[in-house]
């Protein structure tokens, strides 16, 4: 890297004077940012309780004392165009995939839920414009 110098005076002030030492010692802010980014990327949706596509979306609520362990409430608001959207909610640290197919105009939107291994969910629901529906997630009973 000898002979390479940044073009701006601001960059020159930040340019390391020495190439000795570890990256952590030479670039402490960049090192801290990379650690923060790595942690964020490693745990992107640990507390993901909602997905939203322009107002249409779903939320998950953990339930106790019932045969089902979670309720996913999906609501439909008027959005533009026909789209196919995917989102992820979290249930006990496991991903629950939501597929929302938005119909044209006032046509109902369809919400499909793909639960994690060990769980099952109600079938997909068609939600009319301005309406909402609840999909229940159950633990899978084996035996």
Task: Give per-residue pLDDT as tens, 36-66.
Answer: 444 444 444 446 999 998 889 999 999 999 9
Question: Which residues in 41-56 are b (16+ Cβ under 10 Å) and which e?
Answer: eeeeeeeeeebebeeb
Q: What's the mean pLDDT in 59-76? A: 95
Q: What is the pLDDT of residues 2-47, one digit of tens each?
A: 555 545 444 444 445 444 556 556 566 655 555 544 444 444 444 6
pLDDT of amino acid 105: 82
Q: What's the mean pLDDT in 66-87? A: 91
Cα separation, 56 vs 130, in Å, equals 9
Report whether 2 contacts 15 (CB < 8 A): no
Q: What's the mean pLDDT in 63-88? A: 92
Give the residue with greater pLDDT, 95 vs 25: 95
Chain position carrying tokens 């960059």:
11
pLDDT of amino acid 29: 62
Task: Delimit the domains of the chain by residue range.
Answer: 9-42, 50-139
pTM of the model: 0.66
Question: Which residues in 77-88 are b (16+ Cβ under 10 Å) and which e?
Answer: bebeeeeebebe
What stretches of the chain adopt beta strand conformation (E)? 50-53, 56-62, 70-75, 83-91, 94-102, 109-114, 119-121, 125-127, 132-139
pLDDT of amino acid 42: 45
Q: Return the percentage of the chain with pLDDT > 70, whole number.
A: 66
Question: Which residues are paired to 61 by β-bridges?
Answer: 71
């Amino acid at each position: 890297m000898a002979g390479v110098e940044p073009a701006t005076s601001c960059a020159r002030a930040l340019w390391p004077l020495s190439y000795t030492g570890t990256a952590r010692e030479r670039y402490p802010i960049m090192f801290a940012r990379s650690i923060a980014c790595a942690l964020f990327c490693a745990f992107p949706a640990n507390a993901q309780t909602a997905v939203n596509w322009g107002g249409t979306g779903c939320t998950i609520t953990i339930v106790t004392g019932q045969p089902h362990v979670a309720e996913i409430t999906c609501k439909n608001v008027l959005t533009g165009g026909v789209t196919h959207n995917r989102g992820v909610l979290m249930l006990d640290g496991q991903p629950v995939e939501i597929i929302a197919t938005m119909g044209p105009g006032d046509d109902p939107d369809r919400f499909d839920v793909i639960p994690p291994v060990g769980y099952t969910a109600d079938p997909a629901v068609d939600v009319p414009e301005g309406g909402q529906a609840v999909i229940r997630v159950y633990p899978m009973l084996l035996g």
